[in-house]
Amino acid sequence: MAEWKQGLARLAPVHAPCPGFRTGQWLSVHAAALDFLASTAEAAAALGWTTLELFGVHPVVGVSRVDCCGALMVSGGSPIAEVTPALIRYRNGLAYRRTPPGGPSVPVWAFGAEGAASTAGAPPKSL
């Protein structure tokens, strides 16, 4: 949980940390993630939810690849209402089902970090 709090604390709520968020959406997602850390993170950690299952994004295209994203990154800013071993339910009634990621993923606070793309198996960027 300390990694989650420290990682999220490095991100500005007014600047989306990666591509794929609609204008202004990151502000809501960031607020919902802070609410999660204050109220539900301990339960999620006890149930074995991982950093990538919660805060993951694709290392190159961010939240544009939702199959690589964690529950908090695809929440649309809706706060978490329930955490179980199999799913996270948002207050708006939608749910994120725990499944293996569909591709490479990094914590949102590591997006764009030097080497993240090559670590994820993506080809190096050309100039």
Q: Does any domain span residue 117?
A: no
Q: How far, CA to CA in Å, does 47 sit from each of 73, 74, 88, 117, 119?
A: 19, 20, 11, 29, 27
Q: Does any domain span residue 92?
A: yes
Phi, psi of 8 (to 5 degrees): -65, -35
Q: Does any domain span residue 21?
A: yes
Q: Does any domain span residue 47?
A: yes
Q: Does any domain span residue 33?
A: yes
Q: Does any domain span residue 118?
A: no
At a CB cut-off of 8 Å and minimum separation 6, what does 105 contact?
52, 56, 57, 58, 59, 68, 69, 70, 120
- The CA distance from 118 to 112, in Å, is 11
Predicted pLDDT of residue 114: 54
Q: Does any domain span residue 120?
A: no
Q: Edge-to-edge strand order for the sheet containing 80-83? A: 80-83, 87-90, 95-97
Q: Does any domain span residue 25?
A: yes
How many separate domains does the chain show?
1
Mean pLDDT per 10-residue interval, the chain, length 127 residues: 95 96 96 97 97 97 96 96 97 94 93 57 37
Predicted pLDDT of residue 125: 35
Q: The domain containing residue 70 runs over which residues?
A: 2-109
